[in-house]
Amino acid sequence: MAYTGATIVGMDELMKKIEAKFSDQRVSRVVNKALKEIGAEQAKDLQSVAQAFVDPELIVSSRVSRSGGIPSVKIGWSGGRWQVVHLNEFGFNHLKAGEFVKQRGFGVMRAFVYTTEATYMDKLKDKLEELIK
């Protein structure tokens, strides 16, 4: 099973085992619960990383949504601060000086995603195995 370039060995077998053991509604509930829990964990981890440049209480995880039948949880900022966070993350060109400005939060979120990307699917697999027992 491949997501965002990461391949997890055994995820297909785990999903088949879950689908054979439970009804479709139960599978959906288990997957949603696992995604919510991991989304909350990731949001908490991002809060600790981003506290240098943004109010950490504004970092939240969304409800489970489905796009093309694939469930997902988004982690982001509540309220209108996302524009400021975007400028911190990607930098900006100063209008008068014409130079590129890097804030202290430059690249922090990309580094967070890069470091947690490898472990995310393993955490999801472990959480699903825990919930089906």
Is pTM, for the whole model, over 0.75?
no
- Three-class secondary structure of residue 65 per DSSP: strand
Say how many residues make up the chain.
133
- 3: pLDDT strictly greater than 60: no
- 133: pLDDT strictly greater than 80: no
Average pLDDT, the chain: 79
Enumerate residues 6+ apart whose C-beta is below 8 A from 102.
91
Q: In which element (H, E) is residue 89 found? A: helix 82-90
Residues of the domain holding 54: 2-132
- 8: pLDDT strictly greater than 80: no
The predicted pLDDT at position 103 comes to 77
The predicted pLDDT at position 9 comes to 62
